[in-house]
A and B are shown apart, each in its own frame.
Chain A
Amino acid sequence: NAGVMQNPRHLVRRRGQEARLRCSPVKGHSHVYWYRQLPEEGLKFMVYLQKENIIDESGMPKERFSAEFPKEGPSILRIQQVVRGDSAAYFCASSPGQMNTGELFFGEGSRLTVL
């Protein structure tokens, strides 16, 4: 009965380094979503993925950010050449194939700190 698992929980990077955040959805869920929470703000949609497909990445910055959800393994959010403004909590959520109820199942988040 594992929920959405995210790792690492905390990640510290220096400016210019790369950050990789991983997300394993609820078992049986094939849809994954990434949200970003900046300090004192609500969560903002970044990207929606299904297995091997990016469905909607309209909320993701065009540069330096990428996401994937391979056939095998976790979904990965990758941030290249991080800057201080990337410091935030990144939340992954998953849902079954059909979002009949609209409910998303969230992970505990990964907090990225850029020095």
Chain B
Amino acid sequence: AQTVTQSQPEMSVQEAETVTLSCTYDTSENNYYLFWYKQPPSRQMILVIRQEAYKQQNATENRFSVNFQKAAKSFSLKISDSQLGDTAMYFCAFITGAGTYKYIFGTGTRLKVLA
């Protein structure tokens, strides 16, 4: 079965500090794509960062970076210099192969950035 596990239901971090959200997944496929989506209180999901499984280099988008460990099937998200606007639910997800659409989502981590 294909699954995504986010073991931290809630986390908090002080403004300007760094926080890491963990995610593990399970799939027998070799070609897949991993994502982190952010769902602010307004509820619209926004793509934060994506990673192709065939790429060894960890993806980075400004203050957001991932630690992708393919053998361990781990895909953690690091947020540097946390800002109040980072407060949101964060979902880890993946799809297998290009052109597919059945995202498998984790249950999410609620992150609160404290002033």
Residues of A whose CB lies within 8 Å of any CB of B are: 3, 31, 33, 35, 40-45, 48, 56, 59, 89, 91, 93, 95, 98-104, 106-109
Contacts and interface: CB of A to CB of B under 8 A. Distances in A.
Given A91-B45, A103-B50, A107-B44, A98 B103 contact: no
B105 interface: yes
29 contacts: A3-B44, A40-B107, A41-B107, A42-B91, A42-B105, A42-B106, A42-B107, A42-B108, A43-B93, A43-B103, A45-B102, A48-B101, A59-B102, A89-B43, A98-B99, A99-B98, A99-B100, A99-B101, A101-B50, A102-B33, A102-B35, A102-B50, A104-B47, A104-B101, A106-B37, A107-B44, A108-B42, A109-B43, A109-B44
A31 B102 CA distance: 13
Contacts, number: 60
A71 B100 CA distance: 23
B98 A102 contact: yes
Contacts of A31: 101
